[in-house]
Structure formats: structure tokens, C-alpha cells
Structure 1
Amino acid sequence: MSPRHAPGRHRTAQDAEGFRRDAKKHLGQNFLQDPGVIAKIVLAIDPQPGDRIVEIGPGQGALTLPLLDRHGALAAIEFDRDLLVPLAAAARSHGTLTLLNANVLDVDFSALGGDAQIRLVGNLPYNLSSPILFHALDHAAAIRDMHFMLQKEVVERMAAAPGSKVYGRLSVMLQAYCAVTPLFNVPPGAFRPAPKVDSAVVRLVPRVAADIGIDDPAGFAQVVRAAFGQRRKTLRNALSGVADGAMLEAAGLRADARAEQLSVADFIRLANLRTPA
């Protein structure tokens, strides 16, 4: 028999549970495998009776199964259809797993919880981390908290303070709507295959609407995006057409300052001076 028709040549190797042994690079898959790290994440989440937990990207169940052992039930959003059957089979002896095969960016988080807030968890694909975070912000009122594994560099940007080299649009947008708390770092060896970067786990807790103080969310987002669009420009130039000198003065800001010098409160104060479109 020729090599072309040799048995199993086109089959993908699977483990005893039916999962593929290799990860799909185009989906940014890196499967968590370190029991110690998994235990720390579950401890940080601390599931309680009545919680509605939603996991983004359960993969091969490294976090899913321990959460089910601890909590008994959860929902999970998985894009890779090849993972659905083995993951459902693996979960049966641990608890009730509700699987949703979808692109997480198309999922309405507000609808998932019904009349209750959800708790989001997940090892996010690094190539989609920022879009997923902004998507979660759009549904912040329906989310009680979030515990995510991300690239360490991204977590540093999320929690950065004004004046830091990594303080930017992501920092301001997330901190305006959430309390951001980096929890612990995770080395590459905790994953299969090992990524080329360090990772970190972060907790985000959406702020109560009354405490946010943003009059026009779309206008606030526009101001922040323009301010950091060209970091080297002064506010006067970066915000041309978005906020004029009189607005900067009224907000108590120097026109020759740069975006990274402004606090989150500064951005909110400036954006609230604009008239909604």
C-alpha cells in the first residue's frame, strides 16, 4: 500500500479522551496544563452557590472540569467545533456543562445571564484579547466580574497608571468601567504548546453605573481613541476636531500635555464637556 493511502496518514492524533494532541495555531490555542496554576485560578474565582459562570474558550477542559467539580454547572463558549464532543463527554462525570459553539464576539453576554449577572472566566486567545475585552465592556452591566488569563504585557497595559510607557487607550477604557487587579503571573511552561511570552491572570470588576460618571459613553470612547491615536502629539493637536482649547481649559488640562499624562478622571471630565452628537 502506498504511503498516500496508508491507514491513519490523514488522521489527527488524539488522546484517550478524544481531544486532538496538537493545538490549532490559527486559532491561537495554548492549552493550560499546570495543576498548580489551575488551582490558583479556581481559588481566585471562588465560585459560590447561585453563580452563573460563563467560560470563554474552554479548550480541552483544563479549567472547565475543576470549576464543574467545585460549582456543578457552567456555560462555555467554544469556537472550535472539534472540541465540542470530547469536551461534553469529559464533563459528564463532573457536572452540567452547557456548550455554545460560537465566536465569542457574536455572543450577547447580557442575554446569557437572564435576570442575573454572569461571571466571565477564560484563558483568552492572545490574538483576540483586546476585542474580547472591549466586547465585555459593552455588556459590563450584565457582568459581575471577570477572571482572564492574558499575555502578561496586556495585563500590564490594562492596569497601567498615568505616565507609564504602557498606559494607553486600553488602560483608560478598562479602568473607567472596571476595577482592574493583576493577580499572578504564569510561565510559558504551564501551557501546551508553550507560548513565547509570559502570561498573567487578572480580575476585572465592573463599576456600579452611578459611580462611573460618564455622560456619553460613545463620546468618551471617541475622546480617548483620538487622544492616543498619535501618542507623540499634544492634546491640542491630537484632539483637533474632537475637543477645542476652551474645553481643555474648562477641564483644567494643559493643551500642550500628552494623552499619557491624563488620569482616567481627566478623560471623563473632558468628555463630559462635549455635547453628545
Structure 2
Amino acid sequence: MNPHSKEHRLMSTVPQHRARKRFGQNFLRDLGIISRIVRAVGPRSTDRLVEIGPGQGALTEPLLEAAGHLEVIELDRDLIPGLRVQFFNYPDFVVHEGDALKFDFAALKGDGPALRVVGNLPYNISTPLIVHLLAAGSAIEDMHFMLQKEVVERLAAEPGGADWGRLSVMAQYYCQVEQLFIVPPEAFVPRPKVDSAIVRLTPHEILPYTADDPALLFELVKLAFGQRRKTLRNNFKGRVSPDTLEGLGIDPIRRPQTLTVAEYVAIANRVAADEQASGEWGSQT
């Protein structure tokens, strides 16, 4: 192997570091896959790029080369010295040591441009991390993630399919979701036991359907999908009446995976309006 090649640098970075199971670490090694990811992201010099979990810098280097600057968030403190040494020639390379699940992305944006977030996310935190990022709203321009293929299929699912669920509704309420391509296990060290996939999430500039109370919307979505094989009548019992559903043109015997984002928003807005009216009536009596 050429000691000056990218392959050699990638294999030799922090050589003593072993992937940690508790961090869900699988390091990307396939240069062809790395190039495809970078092309999909399309980094520009004007972007505010943020990489979650840079690991040993496989994506970090080409992102830096393309944009000239990059901020990374890394939880594993043993990897951080190696990253700083590897990219010391880039004055605009910034390392934030910490947990992305607790990171304030809106504060990071500040008064600057919206963030473009990239990452090979650990499988064990991918879903809660995406939920956390969705809450950042307009602070994020777009997101490109490597995730377990099963999670990407859930994010990009369509109503009526087996993969359509709570995560699908939450993601598609806020974002346009695109599954880009599959990544096989042999692209990583150590090899995961499942396929991965690249997904692009682009927050809607204007929400197609607006929930008056997003927290209520997601409470009801969680309730609806609590038991997928049961009907809305059963899952919403004591929370949303069959009459309310019928008033919206939704058959109470439908199952949760058959409803669209628009229908869930309509239910949440009707419940919110009914609760507000009930509260106002109660205050007058």
C-alpha cells in the first residue's frame, strides 16, 4: 500500500483505537462509498457543515477538502487527539467534544446560515438522534446520514406499508425524505451484521400540513401506533372518540399504518380545538 495514499492514511489514523461497542462504532473504509456520500452531500465553501461522529475521519477529510471548513461532534474522547493531529492544517476545523443527543444545534447555528449535518450514525442512537435533530427546526438546512437500512426504510416509507410508523410520520411531517443508496457490511470495520443506507432529510421550507400543537400530534401518533394490529377505535380509546374520527371522514376501524400525515394532523388539530373549547367553556361556568 502506498504510504502517501488516502487508503493508507485512513487505515493508519489512530491505529491503537479499537471500535467500541458501547458507542456503536463501525468505521467506514470503502473509498468508493465515501466518494458517493460526498457527491450526494455536495459540500460548498459557503456551507455551515457539521459532521456527527467523525470517528477516524473517513468522511471528514473529503468534506474538508471540498468545503475548506468543518465542525465535528465526537463523543469518544480517545478519538479527538487523532482528529486534531490529522487535520491540523485546516484552521477552520473545529471539534466539539460531547454527546450529539444533548447538543444544542440551534445555538450552534446562532445568527449564521442553517446547518448542513452529515454523519455515519451509531445504530444504537440513530432514532432518538434524528428526533432530536428534527426538533431543531429551521436551524438545519439538510441532513445526510448513514443509518441501518431498516431505519432508512421506515423514514422513507409510504402510508399503508409495513414500514410506515411513528418515525415515518414524525420525519415526513418536518422533512422531505429520500433514500439514496445501500451500503453493504463490507464497507465497514468491524463489519455490522446488517446493511446500511444513505438517507437525505430536507426540512420543508413551509410545512405542507401544520399542527396547531406538534407535541399533541406526536403524542397521538405514538398512541395510534402503540398496537399496530388494533384499530384506531381501540388505540385511541379514552383519548379520541369514534365520533371525532368520523367527523373528519376517518373510519374508526382503520389501522394506524393506513393514515397519512395529513390525516394525523387533522386529528390532532380537531382534538386541540375541542380541548381548547372545553377549557374555555369550563372557565365560563
TM-score by length of 1: 0.91
Q: CA deviation at 1:95?
A: 5.6
Tell me the distance in 1 between the aligned counterparts of 2:182 and 2:239.
Answer: 38
Equivalent of residue 131 in structure 1, options 128, 132, 149: 128
Opposite residue 93 of structure 1, the aligned amino acid is: N
- Which digits, 9 at most, give the CA deviation of each residue in 1:27-57, with x for residues without a partner? 1100001000000111011012221011110
2:49 pairs with 1:53: yes
Tell me the equivalent position of 2:23. Answer: 27
Tell me the distance in 2 between the aligned counterparts of 1:168 and 1:84.
Answer: 37
Equivalent of residue 190 in structure 2, options 178, 185, 193: 193
Tell me the distance in 2 between the aligned counterparts of 1:17 and 1:165.
Answer: 42
2:114 pairs with 1:117: yes
Tell me the distance in 1 between the aligned counterparts of 2:207 and 2:41.
Answer: 25
Alignment of 1:115-194 (within 5 A): 115=111, 116-194=113-191
- Which digits, 9 at most, give the CA deviation of each residue in 1:243-277, with x for residues without a partner? 11122012210000010111111111111111267
SS of 2:225's partner is helix
Q: CA deviation at 1:77?
A: 0.5
Q: Give me the identity figure in percent.
A: 50
Equivalent of residue 204 in structure 1, options 201, 204, 213: 201
Alignment of 1:1-277 (within 5 A): 16-94=12-90, 96-115=92-111, 116-275=113-272
- Which digits, 9 at most, give the CA deviation of each residue in 1:56-101, with x for residues without a partner? 1000000011100111111110000000000111012356211111
Contact 1:65 1:94 in 2 (8 A): no
- Which digits, 9 at most, give the CA deviation of each residue in 1:182-241, with x for residues without a partner? 000000010010100000000000112453411110110011000001111110110123
Q: CA deviation at 1:113?
A: 1.1
Tell me the distance in 1 between the aligned counterparts of 2:220 and 2:196.
Answer: 30
List gaps (5 residues or longer) in structure 2.
1-10, 277-285
State the superposition RMSD in angstroms: 1.4
SS of 1:153's partner is helix
